[in-house]
Amino acid sequence: MSDIMKPMPFAQLMDWALSEHDAEGTVFGVKKSASYEPGSGIDLFGGRIEAPFGPAAGPNTQLAQNLVAGYYAGARFFELKTVQVMDGAEMTACIPKPCIAPGDVCYNCEWSTELTCEDALGEYVKGWFAAKLLGREWGLGADDGFIFNMSVGYDLEGIQSPKVDGFIEGMKDASNTPAWEECRAWALANLDRFEHVDAAFVESISPQVSTSMTVSTMHGCPAEQIEAIVRYLLVEKGLDTCVKVNPTLMGYDFVRERLDSLGYGALSMERTNFEKDLQWDDAEAMFRRLIEVAKGEGRQFGIKVCNTLPVNVTYNELPSDQMYMSGVALFPLAIAVVHRIAKTFEGNIHISFSAGADENNIAELYQAGVWPVTLATALLRPSGYDRFAKMAENVGLVTGSGKRHVDVEAVAALDESCVAGDRYRRPEHAQGKRSLPAELPFLDCLACRACMTVCPNRANVVIEVPGFKRKQIVHVDGMCNECGNCAVFCPYEGRPYRNKPTIFWSVEDMDASENDGFCRLPDGTFRVRLSGDTEVYDVDDAACGLVDEFRSVVIAVRDRYGYLLGPSAER
């Protein structure tokens, strides 16, 4: 196992998506797709979205395959993982792993993208291009029915650095980026793989990948710094801009009381985190000024509710001093922030939302004028991306000019009801991991697919292997950053990202890991590690010495799932 993710070349990404769709009727393991009626959609940030929801900036918007899986499932607003001046290996080294713990309450100690700014730009461009091609090919919706929304942090100096500025400008116009040329060249050379994509369509794809931004600031960022960043993005960069606010805006006492009333008394918080964060009076005055700045520039200014809540690590939840709470427990705090802002501005303000949103509350939020709505925690739980299809069904047809008005009464009702019923109350019985009293087997586990649906990067894959009654799980090393999420949901004692047969994309990757697994060599043989011993085998030779059942796994991957073998694998 290795915690370094490797971007997939566009050729492999597309081969994977098209081959899996043809053979299995799924795309990166996503079973349910949502498609939208021609002409549906609602205006936003100079574009149009066919559905008012999608993945939040986080683990589900880091790699191109995350974006393709989300688009196929029905997401139409993508808040891309935050990019900042500290990136790549330097960032990865700062994140203790595992970094996600989605139990009763979801915690994380992750941060911005673990890719370099340049690779992040490449992934977003590839995801954009792939969604355009696949959407057209499979008739999933209008060619321009989705929006990519950038997220940058965390201070003005970093955002103005050549590295982050290069990222922003590349997203505004990707036509001169290497990733754009890679996508365009692949598409033009592979038109025979499509029925509904031709050269004219490929050349018509807009290189304007994003014209909008959600600003992420650190907890404790001074008000003047937040305002300076938003002004800079609105005025100098010409971007529609939302600023993400924190639940701390409601003050320690309110948050403590509300959490206690819902059964979250054991959550430990520091009052100082509330005192050093943005205060309400400063926030209100700042929002009023920024609304005027945006009007003057002909841009949209909005507020994103909300960031995570910093809490103390008290039961070894994660290997960190502090962690960040998200998910259902955050909803009652976030909706109080929405209510306060909406009431103060009499509804005349753009509010987007992310805090415990899912298929059960998306319709209420959208009908209250609070959108787009993004998800992170719900996507990290079983069903994962498949939830988007249910969300599309629950929201129904979306049409309109996108004129923003939050229904203050509807928001007040949501604020009131979330503390009245049991929906947002901590469950009485902790929802711990239901472990089978057994170690996770290398082959032939229950094949419950949980590790596949909860993996944001799609690094666990279900395959069919002749000779086995049940499906098998293989793990793709290059796509995993050891976030730990799949281990939380596997019913066995064990970690799928550590204990399942692992496919390596290079000998170097294999040497950097202790996992048992295999790697295809240039001459067509396979380097295999089993029980720690590494040998090279010609798997077509039944007498090669490799144990038969594992030889079947390797052959099945090679012959039926060749795209798993990596960028250099010949099909």
Cβ atoms of 132 and 72 closer than 8 Å: no
CA geometry: angle 114, 118, 123, nearest 5 deg: 70
Residues 82 and 58: their CA atoms lie apart, in Å, by 7
Of 216-224, 391-399, 493-501, 525-533, the segment contacting ligand SF4 by CB under 6 A is 493-501
Alpha carbon dihedral 438, 443, 448, 454, in 10-degree steps, equals 100
Cβ atoms of 503 and 475 closer than 8 Å: yes
The smaller minimum CB distance to ligand SF4, of residues 120 and 490, is found at 490
CB of 561 to ligand SF4, least distance (A): 16
Longest Cα pair distance anywhere in the chain, in angstroms?
77
Please state, as a whole number, how many other Cβ atoms lie within 10 Å of the Cβ of residue 498: 19
Q: Residue 445 interacts with ligand SF4 (CB under 6 A)?
A: yes
Q: Residue 103 interacts with ligand SF4 (CB under 6 A)?
A: no
The smaller minimum CB distance to ligand SF4, of residues 291 and 447, is found at 447
Cβ atoms of 266 and 316 closer than 8 Å: no
CB of 88 to ligand SF4, least distance (A): 17
Which two three-digit tokens encode residue 550? 């594992």
Q: Residue 366 interacts with ligand SF4 (CB under 6 A)?
A: no
Q: Residues binding ligand SF4: what is the number (CB under 6 A)?
A: 27
Using CB under 6 A, pick the residue from 450, 546, 553, 565 that binds ligand SF4.
450
Of 9-17, 239-247, 476-484, 548-556, the segment contacting ligand SF4 by CB under 6 A is 476-484
CB of 486 to ligand SF4, least distance (A): 3
Residues 431 and 304: their CA atoms lie apart, in Å, by 30
Restricted to residues 390-429, the positions that interact with ligand SF4 (CB under 6 A) are none
Q: Residue 481 interacts with ligand SF4 (CB under 6 A)?
A: yes
Cβ atoms of 555 and 539 closer than 8 Å: yes
Please state, as a whole number, how many other Cβ atoms lie within 10 Å of the Cβ of residue 403: 8
Strands 526-530 and 517-520: antiparallel
Cβ atoms of 151 and 120 closer than 8 Å: no
Tally the C-alpha atoms within 13 A of residue 392's C-alpha that lie toward its C-beta.
27
Q: Residue 4 interacts with ligand SF4 (CB under 6 A)?
A: no
Q: Residue 490 interacts with ligand SF4 (CB under 6 A)?
A: yes
Q: Scanning the structure block, which residue is given the tokens 């209420």?
A: 364
For residue 238, give the nearest of 320, 281, 293 by alpha carbon: 293
534 DSSP 8-state letter: E
Residues 354 and 379: their CA atoms lie apart, in Å, by 12
* CA distances (Å), origin 349, targets 214, 344, 376, 561: 15, 10, 24, 49
78 DSSP 8-state letter: E
Cβ atoms of 313 and 332 closer than 8 Å: no
Using CB under 6 A, pick the residue from 124, 492, 518, 550 that binds ligand SF4.
492
Q: How many helices (H) and strands (E) does the chain have?
A: 21, 21
Using CB under 6 A, pick the residue from 86, 448, 536, 544 that binds ligand SF4.
448
Q: Residue 461 interacts with ligand SF4 (CB under 6 A)?
A: no
Using CB under 6 A, pick the residue from 115, 306, 480, 557 that binds ligand SF4.
480
The smaller minimum CB distance to ligand SF4, of residues 50 and 110, is found at 110
Q: Residue 505 interacts with ligand SF4 (CB under 6 A)?
A: no
- Collect all residues with Cβ–Cβ distance below 8 Å to 163 and sequence separation of at least 6: 85, 87, 117
Q: Residue 447 interacts with ligand SF4 (CB under 6 A)?
A: yes
The smaller minimum CB distance to ligand SF4, of residues 319 and 491, is found at 491
CB of 247 to ligand SF4, least distance (A): 26
Q: Residue 443 interacts with ligand SF4 (CB under 6 A)?
A: no
Strand partners, 152: 83, 215
Q: Residue 449 interacts with ligand SF4 (CB under 6 A)?
A: yes
Q: Residue 457 interacts with ligand SF4 (CB under 6 A)?
A: yes
**DSSP secondary structure of 254-284:** HHHHHHHHTT-TT----HHHHHHSPPHHHHH
Q: Residue 85 interacts with ligand SF4 (CB under 6 A)?
A: no
Q: Residue 262 interacts with ligand SF4 (CB under 6 A)?
A: no
Q: Residue 69 interacts with ligand SF4 (CB under 6 A)?
A: no
SS3 363: helix
The smaller minimum CB distance to ligand SF4, of residues 245 and 473, is found at 473
Q: Residue 484 interacts with ligand SF4 (CB under 6 A)?
A: yes
Strands 309-312 and 322-326: antiparallel
CB of 494 to ligand SF4, least distance (A): 7
The smaller minimum CB distance to ligand SF4, of residues 336 and 455, is found at 455
Q: Residue 331 interacts with ligand SF4 (CB under 6 A)?
A: no
Of 40-48, 249-257, 474-482, 553-561, the segment contacting ligand SF4 by CB under 6 A is 474-482
CB of 438 to ligand SF4, least distance (A): 10
Q: Residue 451 interacts with ligand SF4 (CB under 6 A)?
A: yes
Restricted to residues 184-203, the positions that interact with ligand SF4 (CB under 6 A) are none
Q: Residue 460 interacts with ligand SF4 (CB under 6 A)?
A: yes
360 DSSP 8-state letter: T
The smaller minimum CB distance to ligand SF4, of residues 159 and 445, is found at 445
Using CB under 6 A, pick the residue from 9, 220, 263, 491 that binds ligand SF4.
491
Residues 568 and 419: their CA atoms lie apart, in Å, by 54
Residues 4 and 247: their CA atoms lie apart, in Å, by 32
Of 207-215, 384-392, 485-493, 508-516, the segment contacting ligand SF4 by CB under 6 A is 485-493
The smaller minimum CB distance to ligand SF4, of residues 263 and 491, is found at 491
CB of 525 to ligand SF4, least distance (A): 27
Interface residues with ligand SF4 (CB under 6 A) are: 440, 445-451, 455, 457, 459-460, 473, 480-486, 489-492, 496-497, 500
